[in-house]
């Protein structure tokens, strides 16, 4: 199946729920959504990938793009499937992002 | 041997993966090695489309040939694009993998993944076309030596 992208923003947390397959054909759409999200003041980008069944290196390049745009951005990868975890480990991305089983939630505003 | 021809465009990436996965499953390969094989094929097919065809101002097909034997499952990608030898292009090295993300190079990740995902990746450019060959060795029915699942 192609890729379905559902973006949302809550406070300073941007989220992209990705369903389907992320490859060279679908990557530009993801990059466009991230570019749009980063026009807002975000501290965190949460990639919800529980239903992402395939991710090529194009997905990794998107993560690099986001970090180069905003070096202080914390990137979370939530519930990746095992083959995608393997890709993240092989390429050194696993320790550079926050891989977790649950959504980090929204940051409480600090007064 | 079976083969199927696909347009050399990014829209063909998913159909190519589906075809390879379907043939690999019929040959008895398990899900993990199938995923790795499809990843490798996808990365190289992407390079063929972008660097071999589009950037070179060319157009053409990618022919996928499948050669299955009891000991190995081989996928060949044939193209008539500008030659693009994955062994000659720099892939991200082990030292580069530790860099902070904002300092990482964009290129080379696909070739790194492709080479690491299959038992053998060969390339040759011939007058009949360029050929990438991906081989998964089958230790026993249903497993592959690269990423094999314990039974």
The total of structural domains in chain A comes to 1
pLDDT tens sequence across A66-106: 998 999 999 999 999 999 999 999 999 999 999 999 999 86
Residue range(s) defining the domain that contains residue A95: 3-100
Q: Is residue A25 in some structural domain? A: yes
Q: Is residue A109 in some structural domain? A: no
A-interface mutation test, from B8, B16, B21, B39, most A Cβ less than 10 A away: B39
pLDDT tens sequence across B32-67: 999 999 999 999 999 999 999 999 999 999 999 999
Q: Contacts from B139-145 at CB under 8 Å and sequence distance 24+?
A: B141/B28, B142/B28, B142/B29, B142/B30, B143/B29, B143/B30, B143/B33, B144/B29, B144/B30, B144/B33, B144/B36, B144/B37, B144/B73, B144/B119, B145/B119
**pLDDT above 90 as % of chain B:** 70
Cross-chain Cβ contact A56/B110 below 8 Å = yes
pLDDT tens sequence across A5-27: 999 999 999 999 999 999 999 99
| CA-based nearest residue in chain B for residue A57 | B110
Fold for the domain defined by B2-137 = Heat Shock Protein 90 (3.30.565)
Q: Is residue A38 in some structural domain? A: yes
From B11, B32, B110, residue closest to A25, measured CB to CB? B11
The answer to whether ipTM exceeds 0.90 is yes
Cross-chain Cβ contact B116/A87 below 8 Å = no
B13 pLDDT band, cuts 50/70/90, is very high
Domain residue extents for chain B: 2-137
Q: Is residue A61 in some structural domain? A: yes
């Amino acid at each position: 199946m192609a890729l379905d992208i559902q973006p949302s923003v809550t406070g300073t947390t941007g989220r992209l729920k990705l369903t389907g397959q992320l490859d060279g054909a679908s990557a530009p759409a993801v990059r466009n959504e991230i570019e749009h999200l980063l026009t807002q003041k975000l501290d965190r980008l949460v990639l919800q990938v529980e239903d992402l069944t395939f991710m090529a290196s194009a997905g990794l390049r998107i993560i690099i793009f986001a970090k180069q745009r905003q070096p202080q951005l914390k990137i979370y990868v939530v519930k990746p499937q095992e083959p995608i975890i393997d890709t993240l480990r092989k390429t050194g991305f696993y320790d550079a992002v926050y891989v977790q089983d649950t959504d980090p939630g929204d940051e409480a505003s600090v007064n | 041997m079976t083969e199927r021809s696909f347009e050399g465009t990014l829209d063909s990436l998913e159909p190519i993966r589906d075809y390879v996965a379907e043939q690999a499953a019929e040959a008895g390969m398990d899900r993990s090695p199938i995923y790795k094989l499809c990843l490798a094929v996808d990365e190289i097919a992407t390079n063929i489309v972008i660097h071999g065809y589009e950037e070179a101002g060319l157009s053409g097909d990618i022919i996928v040939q499948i050669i299955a034997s009891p000991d190995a499952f081989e996928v060949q990608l044939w193209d008539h694009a500008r030659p693009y030898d994955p062994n000659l292009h720099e892939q991200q090295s082990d030292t580069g993998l530790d860099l902070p993300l904002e300092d990482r190079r964009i290129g080379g990740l696909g070739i790194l993944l492709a080479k690491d995902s299959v038992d053998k990746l060969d390339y040759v450019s011939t007058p009949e076309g360029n050929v990438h060959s991906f081989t998964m060795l089958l230790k026993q029915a249903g497993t592959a030596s690269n990423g094999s699942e314990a039974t």
